[in-house]
């Protein structure tokens, strides 16, 4: 006889497999980024030498460009700036929708590179840092590989021993205790960021957020192990088949549900600022960051994102 106790047992066995399967909820490509995201023409919270512009200005100056399966976001690369005037025109996009438990998969062909650049693909909640921040793709001045980072309020730390391919850079995610650095994981592959990423034709980034963990994966464009559902932007994905992630943030000593709220997705390019400006000289860049940005517009000819698509699964 098939009893209720047997049904409960079968459900418990099936649940872990089902939990890793997600269905596509949103797809952004080309003009979809213009309709699904808002241009945030606000002062840069990281104090960069940029002037974030609205959508009308951005499109008129070709700082955002959309067609077919191509979306480009760039900084101005033609204007010499006055030292007393606003920063270099650039773009910060924020998704109109918010997400909690979800998977995002990014197909990126090119990312901004060059001294002074600080590009990022990330997610953040309201009342920072109380609803958390997840940095999926981020770095500065072409220095090193990608860094995946969580930023939270107090009470969120990560264990030393966890299953990931990247190297931990601090295990306390509390911004107040770490000078805003949070808890990061550094990729080991040079093709995960900047010139190395671009030389390989870009690649795929994926992030899975649940109440039990946050994971981020990276596959270079020509890698032989790109999961089929990632490669083709399938209607559903199964993260159990994606192997060991680049970064793994378990809830062992961090209640993810209470530290991370509804998140907007953000794509932005700032210049100098709290990180890129502070590390400018140490990263081998010439002179001072602000003067470099003001006087060298042609240095930013490669400071652009070219994104094929973003898929969000729930």
Of 99 and 17, which is predicted with more confidence?
Answer: 99
**Which entry of 40, 123, 133, 208 is annotated as an active-site residue?**
133
Q: What is the pLDDT of residues 135-171, one digit of tens each?
A: 999 999 999 999 999 999 999 999 999 999 999 999 9
Residue 243 covered by a domain: yes
pLDDT value of residue 76 = 98
pLDDT value of residue 19 = 57
With 80 as the cut, is the pLDDT of residue 123 above it?
yes
pLDDT value of residue 305 = 98
Q: How many domains does the chain have?
A: 1
With 80 as the cut, is the pLDDT of residue 9 above it?
no
Residue 8 covered by a domain: no
Residue 2 covered by a domain: no
Query: Please, how many CA atoms are within 13 Å of residue 16, restricted to the half-sphere of its CB?
Result: 5
Residue 4 covered by a domain: no
**Which entry of 40, 123, 138, 208 is annotated as an active-site residue?**
138
With 90 as the cut, is the pLDDT of residue 16 above it?
no
Which residue range forms the structural domain that includes residue 103?
21-313
**pLDDT > 70: percent of the chain:** 94
Residue 5 covered by a domain: no
Closest listed residue to residue 140, CA positions, set 307, 268, 310, 291: 268
Residue 6 covered by a domain: no
pTM of the model: 0.93
With 70 as the cut, is the pLDDT of residue 6 above it?
no
With 80 as the cut, is the pLDDT of residue 133 above it?
yes
Using only C-alpha atoms, what is the Rg of the chain? 20
Q: What is the pLDDT of residues 256-302, one digit of tens each?
A: 999 999 999 999 999 999 999 999 999 999 999 999 999 999 999 99
- CB burial of 224-263 (b: ≥16 within 10 Å; e: otherwise) equals eebbebbeebbeebebeebeebbbbbebeebebebbbeeb
Q: What is the pLDDT of residues 17-73, one digit of tens each?
A: 345 999 999 999 999 999 999 999 999 999 999 999 999 999 999 999 999 999 999
| Residue 133 annotated in active site | yes
**φ/ψ of residue 188, rounded to 5:** -100, -10
Average pLDDT, the chain: 94
Residue 270 covered by a domain: yes
pLDDT value of residue 27 = 98
pLDDT value of residue 149 = 98
pLDDT value of residue 17 = 38
Q: What is the pLDDT of residues 162-212, one digit of tens each?
A: 999 999 999 999 999 999 999 999 999 999 999 999 999 999 999 999 999
Residue 15 covered by a domain: no
| Residue 138 annotated in active site | yes
Q: What is the mean pLDDT of residues 114-118?
A: 98
Q: What is the mean pLDDT of residues 105-112?
A: 98
For the domain that residue 96 is a member of, what is the CATH number? Answer: 2.60.120.200
With 60 as the cut, is the pLDDT of residue 237 above it?
yes
């Amino acid at each position: 006889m098939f009893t209720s106790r047997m049904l409960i047992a079968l459900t418990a066995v099936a649940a872990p497999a089902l939990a890793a399967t997600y269905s596509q909820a949103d797809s952004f490509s080309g003009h979809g980024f213009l309709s699904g995201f808002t241009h945030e023409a606000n002062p840069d919270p990281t104090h960069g030498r940029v002037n974030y512009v609205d959508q009308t200005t951005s499109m008129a100056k070709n700082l955002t460009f959309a067609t077919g399966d191509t979306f480009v976001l760039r900084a101005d690369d033609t204007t010499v700036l006055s030292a007393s005037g606003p920063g270099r025109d650039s773009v910060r996009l924020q998704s109109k929708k918010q997400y909690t438990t979800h998977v995002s998969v990014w197909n990126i062909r090119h990312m901004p590179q060059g001294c002074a650049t600080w590009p990022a693909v990330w997610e953040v909640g309201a009342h920072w840092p109380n609803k958390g921040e997840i940095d999926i793709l981020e770095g500065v001045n072409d220095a090193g590989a990608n860094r995946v980072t969580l930023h939270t309020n107090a009470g969120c730390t990560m264990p030393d021993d966890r299953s990931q391919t990247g190297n931990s850079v601090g295990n306390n995610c509390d911004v107040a205790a770490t000078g805003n650095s949070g808890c990061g994981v550094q990729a080991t592959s040079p093709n995960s960021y900047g010139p190395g990423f671009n030389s390989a034709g870009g690649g795929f980034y994926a992030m899975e957020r649940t109440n039990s963990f946050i994971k981020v994966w990276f596959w270079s464009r020509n890698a032989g192990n790109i999961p089929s559902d990632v490669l083709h932007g399938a209607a559903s994905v199964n993260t159990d088949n994606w192997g060991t992630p680049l970064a793994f943030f378990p809830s062992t000593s961090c209640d993810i549900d209470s530290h991370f709220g509804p998140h907007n997705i953000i794509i932005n390019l700032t210049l100098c600022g709290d990180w890129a400006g502070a590390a400018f000289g140490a990263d081998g860049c010439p002179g001072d960051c602000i003067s470099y940005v003001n006087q060298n517009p042609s240095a930013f000819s490669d400071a652009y994102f070219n994104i094929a698509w973003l898929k969000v699964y729930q």
